[in-house]
Amino acid sequence: MSDTANLIKINTDVHYIEEQSDEYQQRFVFSYTITIENNCEKTLQLMSRSWLITDANGAKVTVEGDGVVGQQPILQSGQRYRYTSGSVIKTPIGTMEGYYTFKDLQDNYYKVEIPMFSLAIPNILN
């Protein structure tokens, strides 16, 4: 598996969904929007994802599967793909990190790390 870490840019935007959360039930709901930008010269298809979700108690959940939100998008050079998904954790603070697996038209596979980002209710870290 080749490395394209510098050629695939990943941005995250996280929102706390208060109306779906319940502190007394230890249910904290977050949405996250991921933007993937293909800055390499190859056409790539996002084949799979692997997430490690960790809450403030240290509980870890791994989520793996084909594509993202039911799709395996193809990104031409210079294209962006954006999707929104969600996560539910038992504490008001947590983290997500992981990787995507892409393949090019010659069936070469690439593992692209997703940098760790925070899941946190607003102003809890201030």
pLDDT category of residue 126 using cuts at 50, 70 and 90: low
Collapsing DSSP to helix, strand or coil, 105 comes out as coil
Mind listing the pLDDT tens digit for each residue in 36-93? 999 999 999 999 999 999 999 999 999 999 999 999 999 999 999 999 999 999 999 9
User: What CATH homologous superfamily does 2-120 map to?
Assistant: ApaG domain (2.60.40.1470)
Mind listing the pLDDT tens digit for each residue in 94-112? 999 999 999 999 999 999 9
Alpha-carbon distance of 74 to 72, in angstroms, equals 7
Beta carbons within 8 Å of 49's beta carbon, 6+ residues apart = 63, 64, 65, 67, 68, 98, 99, 100, 101
Mind listing the pLDDT tens digit for each residue in 6-19? 689 999 999 999 99
Alpha-carbon distance of 126 to 123, in angstroms, equals 5
Question: Is residue 7 left, alpha or beta, with left meaning phi > 0 and alpha meaning psi from -120 to 50?
Answer: alpha
Phi first, then psi, for residue 25 (nearest 5°) are: -90, 5
Task: Give the per-residue pLDDT at 4.
Answer: 53
Task: Give the per-residue pLDDT at 45.
Answer: 97
Please state the rounded mean pLDDT for residues 12-35. 97
pLDDT category of residue 123 using cuts at 50, 70 and 90: confident
Residue 2 has pLDDT above 80, yes or no: no
CA 76 to chain centre: 20
For the chain, what are the domain ranges? 2-120
pLDDT category of residue 116 using cuts at 50, 70 and 90: very high
